[in-house]
């Protein structure tokens, strides 16, 4: 492969809501740049980028895929990212490592939920943005309506059209470039070939008006250009490109282009804009990290002769190459068959062959340098979020924060003996997708799989079965209720006496049992005086209490927030034993708990729900109906963040309900807050159900 200078590299990601044509755009780019010899199709399952079996079956992008190509003597590293909410965390990880984002908006649908999400990601990581209005050839395509929607919904910086469409729906045939004031007329044979001609007469007035509006935005990036425009009333093509690039790099506006990817129309002008307008790695701000030894903030510039540094943003479980580790090189160079320092794990990794990815294919490289996005195979210790660096110049980049899972299911293997296989397989899948969370509830004993939505979990189980041959059943997790007491019970006495011939069993314990505050746990007080109970039996009493408190007297849930004061008892020289005192302690505690007004406690979750302002009333009403207590509401851009406490039992299946109420525009996060007493009418039902299950 030809070696490119750092200034000739462009790292671009394609982002947007699922179904708006991101992968179709990527396929057209790869065809027009000669990487593929046919125009891949998502609908036909012939896409180079959506190659996974689940992606082909579902016709959606599930995991980001990479490719590289050349255009106008520049190297373009391209990342096609997922756009559905269940997989959008992958897009965020990719946004961090690109130098420019092409955000795709459907001409027939406008700005949708995840369009806004990836726009926010671009602002978070300070990434320049081009907006591409796709599907101009589809029914109900409306360029102006899409532009108005973009300006309304993505309003943090101006979004300005730099093109106009020639025709719409089935009559779409090209674009008018407002900088050149030329028309691109594309052949309707999927070849991408076009003729450059004058602006059609019927569009000349509209194009002139739009050009003036565009230039008024462009000149705001540079004072000299503003003066020139005020003096001359116009800018030439070279001046427009200067302002355009400066505005993109400084992120003062986002240009809007359009096209029809599946018919290969409008792609080449977009490629020209990407190469001309997006910054090279050298034109971005130096990346910051902390010195791995001193903790001081350091910077790395995109220079070939600088100290080596790279960030791992993705891991791919490839069935043939094994684990592929994908990373962005920020500075320096790396050769095949070398050793790098993993600053996160504090280990050395042996690098074999270096690859450039082309969908599912790997193309060997002889060298990797600043600006490259590459992959290596079969690293032992490295995982997503790790930093590679020169050991003599150590730096540590902050890992990308992962979204917290929003839905959990209990897993049961369909075949006995598969429990260990499930765990090991899901650990490997979580290397590829860190948003998968696997755990075991210590109280209920259930194995829990958590993810970003039901589709996310289903896709994970499809992979589990296809790649590892393990099939499982899903069920709603059990709620980890607990029990406690409301009142103190003094003088609880229990005598354990058993005589069956030979040596008998005898022990008597005297307890005071009292409630403690919420969250206090359990407390044991040894208040023995005199010698009625030998002190060597005290540990046995404690063991008995510890065992008994694991299954309360109401519904068998663990007992918390209480104190046992062991103040007296009786023993027998021959028949007393540790086992006898343990049994006596178990029975005494159960007796005391029954007499101390036991109650059921339920876990209360702290929930943050982010929704458009229009949905706020419905969401608050719904949370109230779920026995929630709203703690407050804060503004976040065009959205409202509702904070509340709500019982876990009421939000085990909250995700589908929130999607329904907000049209998919709502997001939420959950964390355990505390335990509270269950209302009596619900407690009776839970106790009855528990007794029935037993």
Q: Domain with 86 in it: what CATH number?
A: 3.40.50.300
- Note the pLDDT of residue 536: 93
Sign of CA dihedral 426, 427, 430, 432: negative
At residue 330, φ and ψ (nearest 5 deg) are -95, -30
Average pLDDT over all residues of the chain: 90
> Residues 256-273: what's their mean pLDDT?
96
Three-class DSSP category at 613: helix
Asked if residue 339 has pLDDT above 90, the reply is yes
Decide if 3 is inside a domain.
no
Asked if residue 50 has pLDDT above 80, the reply is no
CB 48 within 8 A of CB 41: no
Top mean-pLDDT range of 30-44, 446-460, 465-479, 503-517: 503-517
Q: Which two tokens stand for residue 517?
A: 């505050």
Any idea what DSSP says for residue 397?
Answer: P
Residues 321/309/1/128 CA torsion (nearest 10 deg): 100
CA distance 170 to 156: 33
List residues bridging with 630 in a β-sheet.
644
CB 279 within 8 A of CB 249: yes
Tens digit of each residue's pLDDT (9 = 90 or more) over 589-604: 999 999 999 999 999 9
Same domain, 123 and 245: yes
CATH number of the structural domain spanning residue 543: 3.30.230.10
Tens digit of each residue's pLDDT (9 = 90 or more) over 357-407: 988 888 998 889 999 999 999 898 999 999 999 989 999 999 988 777 778
Same domain, 462 and 489: no
Decide if 178 is inside a domain.
yes
Q: Which domain holds residue 458?
A: 407-475
Decide if 171 is inside a domain.
yes
In angstroms, the Cα distances linking 484 to 225, 549, 564 are: 74, 10, 13
> Residues 276-303: what's their mean pLDDT?
93
> Beta strands 395-396 and 9-16: pairing type?
unpaired
CB 77 within 8 A of CB 10: yes
> Residues 253-280: what's their mean pLDDT?
96
Of 596, 622, 639, which residue sits at a domain end? 596
Any idea what DSSP says for residue 265?
Answer: B
Burial 98-110 (b: 16+ CB within 10 A, else e): bbbbbbbbbbbbb
CA distance 647 to 390: 50
CB 372 within 8 A of CB 327: no
Q: Which two tokens stand for residue 329?
A: 């090189």
Decide if 587 is inside a domain.
yes
Percent of the chain, pLDDT > 90?
A: 63
CB 492 within 8 A of CB 591: yes
Same domain, 610 and 575: no
- Note the pLDDT of residue 169: 93
Decide if 547 is inside a domain.
yes
Of 539, 569, 596, which residue sits at a domain end? 596
Tens digit of each residue's pLDDT (9 = 90 or more) over 604-627: 999 999 888 888 999 999 999 999
Sheet with 297-300: strands ordered across: 297-300, 287-291, 395-396
Same domain, 245 and 317: no
Same domain, 12 and 89: yes
- Note the pLDDT of residue 318: 65
CATH number of the structural domain spanning residue 389: 2.40.30.10
**Nearest in space to 382 (alpha carbons), one of 331, 463, 311, 298:** 311
Decide if 402 is inside a domain.
no
Which residue's entry shows tokens 């009142």? 487
Of 248, 283, 318, which residue sits at a domain end? 283
CATH number of the structural domain spanning residue 441: 3.30.70.870
CA distance 88 to 18: 9
Decide if 2 is inside a domain.
no
CA distance 67 to 103: 17
CATH number of the structural domain spanning residue 665: 3.30.70.240
Spell out the long-range contacts of 68-72 with Cβ–Cβ below 8 A and sequence spacing 24 or more: 68/35, 68/356, 68/357, 68/358, 68/373, 69/29, 69/30, 69/33, 69/34, 69/35, 70/2, 70/33, 70/34, 71/33, 71/271, 71/272, 71/274, 71/275, 72/271, 72/272, 72/275
**Nearest in space to 328 (alpha carbons), one of 344, 311, 352, 306:** 311
Asked if residue 45 has pLDDT above 90, the reply is no
SS3 content of the chain, % helix, strand, coil (to 5): 30, 35, 35
> Beta strands 447-451 and 407-413: pairing type?
antiparallel
CA distance 167 to 142: 10
Q: Which two tokens stand for residue 412?
A: 């049961």
Asked if residue 319 has pLDDT above 80, the reply is no
CA distance 295 to 289: 9
Same domain, 50 and 186: yes
Which residue's entry shows tokens 């525009």? 665
Q: How many domains does the chain have?
A: 5
Which residue's entry shows tokens 């029954």? 594
**Nearest in space to 150 (alpha carbons), one of 159, 161, 137:** 159
Decide if 320 is inside a domain.
yes
> For residue 204, what is the enclosing H or E element?
helix 201-218
- Note the pLDDT of residue 320: 63
Q: Which two tokens stand for residue 597?
A: 């007004």
CB 371 within 8 A of CB 302: yes
In angstroms, the Cα distances linking 217 to 152, 157, 325, 625 are: 17, 11, 42, 49
Same domain, 47 and 72: yes
Same domain, 320 and 174: no
CB 82 within 8 A of CB 72: no
Tens digit of each residue's pLDDT (9 = 90 or more) over 524-570: 999 999 889 999 999 999 999 999 999 999 998 999 999 999 999 99
Same domain, 533 and 681: no
- Note the pLDDT of residue 652: 86
Tens digit of each residue's pLDDT (9 = 90 or more) over 108-142: 988 888 898 899 999 999 999 999 999 999 999 99
Same domain, 186 and 37: yes
List residues bridging with 448 in a β-sheet.
410, 439
Same domain, 249 and 388: no
Asked if residue 630 has pLDDT above 70, the reply is yes
Under the banding of pLDDT at 50, 70 and 90, the label for residue 416 is confident
Under the banding of pLDDT at 50, 70 and 90, the label for residue 321 is low
**Nearest in space to 639 (alpha carbons), one of 615, 606, 664, 607:** 615
Same domain, 543 and 630: no
Task: Count the Cβ atoms, other than its own, within 10 Å of residue 498.
Answer: 11
If phi > 0 it is left, if psi is from -120 to 50 it is alpha, else beta; for residue 50 that is: beta
> Residues 254-279: what's their mean pLDDT?
96
> For residue 522, what is the enclosing H or E element?
strand 522-526
DSSP assignment of 265-312: BSHHHHHHHHHHHSPPGGGSPPEEEEETTT--EEEE-S-TTSPPEEEE
CB 564 within 8 A of CB 489: no
């Amino acid at each position: 492969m030809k070696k490119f200078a750092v200034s000739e590299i462009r790292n671009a990601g394609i982002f947007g809501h699922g179904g708006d044509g991101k992968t179709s755009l990527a396929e057209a780019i790869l065809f027009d740049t000669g990487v593929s010899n046919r125009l891949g199709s998502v609908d036909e399952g012939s896409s180079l980028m959506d190659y996974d079996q689940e992606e082909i079956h579902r016709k959606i992008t599930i995991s980001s895929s990479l490719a590289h190509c050349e255009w106008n003597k520049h190297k373009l590293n391209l990342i096609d990212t997922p756009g559905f909410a269940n997989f959008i965390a992958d897009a965020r990880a990719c946004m961090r490592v690109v130098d420019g984002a092409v955000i795709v908006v459907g001409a027939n649908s406008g700005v949708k939920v995840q369009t806004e999400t990836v726009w926010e990601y671009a602002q978070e990581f300070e990434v320049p943005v081009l907006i591409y209005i796709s599907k101009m050839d589809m029914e109900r395509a409306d360029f102006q309506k899409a532009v108005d929607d973009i300006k309304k919904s993505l309003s943090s910086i101006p979004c300005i059209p730099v093109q106009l469409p020639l025709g719409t729906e089935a009559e779409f045939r090209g674009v008018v470039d407002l900088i050149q004031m030329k028309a691109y007329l594309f052949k309707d044979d999927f070849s991408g070939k076009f003729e450059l001609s004058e602006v059609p007469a019927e569009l000349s007035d509209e194009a002139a008006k739009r050009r003036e509006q565009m230039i008024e935005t462009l000149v705001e990036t540079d004072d000299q250009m503003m003066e020139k425009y005020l003096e001359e009333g116009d800018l030439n093509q070279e001046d427009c490109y200067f302002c355009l690039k400066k505005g993109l790099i400084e992120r003062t506006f986002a240009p809007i282009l359009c096209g029809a990817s599946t018919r290969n129309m409008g792609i080449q002008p977009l490629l020209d804009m990407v190469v001309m307008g997006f910054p090279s790695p050298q034109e971005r701000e130096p990346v910051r990290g902390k010195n791995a030894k001193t903790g001081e903030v350091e910077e790395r510039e995109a220079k070939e002769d600088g100290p080596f540094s790279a960030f791992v943003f993705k891991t791919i479980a490839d069935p043939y190459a094994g684990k592929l580790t994908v990373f962005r090189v920020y500075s320096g160079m790396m050769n095949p068959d070398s050793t790098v320092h993993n600053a996160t794990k504090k280990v050395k990794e042996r690098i074999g062959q270096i690859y450039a990815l082309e969908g599912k294919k790997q193309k060997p490289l002889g060298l990797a340098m600043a600006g490259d996005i590459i992959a290596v195979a079969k690293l032992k210790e490295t995982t997503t979020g790790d930093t590679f660096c020169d050991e003599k110049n150590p730096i540590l980049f902050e890992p990308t924060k992962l979204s917290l899972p929003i839905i959990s299911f209990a897993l049961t293997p369909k075949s006995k003996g598969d429990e260990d296989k499930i765990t090991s397989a899901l650990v490997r899948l979580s290397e590829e997708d860190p948003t998968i969370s696997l755990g075991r509830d210590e109280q209920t004993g259930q194995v829990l799989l958590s993810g970003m939505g039901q589709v996310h979990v289903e896709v994970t189980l499809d992979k589990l079965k296809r790649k590892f041959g393990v099939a499982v059943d899903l069920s709603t997790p059990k709620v980890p209720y607990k029990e406690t007491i409301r009142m103190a019970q003094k003088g609880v006495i229990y005598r354990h006496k058993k005589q069956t011939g030979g040596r008998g069993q005898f022990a008597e314990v005297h307890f005071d049992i009292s409630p403690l505050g919420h969250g206090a746990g359990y407390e044991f007080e040894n208040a023995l005086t005199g010698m009625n109970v030998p002190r060597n039996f005290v540990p046995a009493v404690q063991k008995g209490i510890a065992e008994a408190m694991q299954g309360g007297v109401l519904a068998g849930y663990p007992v918390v927030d209480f104190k046992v004061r062991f103040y007296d008892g009786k023993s027998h020289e021959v028949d007393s034993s540790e086992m006898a005192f343990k049994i006596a302690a178990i029975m005494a505690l159960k007796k005391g708990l029954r007499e101390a007004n036991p109650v059921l406690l339920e876990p209360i979750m702290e929930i943050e729900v982010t929704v458009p302002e229009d949905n706020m009333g419905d969401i608050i009403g719904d949370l109230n109906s779920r026995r929630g207590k709203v703690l407050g509401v804060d503004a976040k851009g065009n959205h409202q963040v509702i904070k509340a406490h709500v019982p876990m039992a009421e939000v085990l299946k909250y995700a589908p309900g929130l999607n329904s109420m907000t049209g998919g525009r709502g997001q939420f996060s959950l964390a355990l807050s505390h335990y509270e007493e269950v209302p009596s009418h619900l407690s009776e039902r839970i106790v009855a159900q528990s007794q029935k299950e037993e």
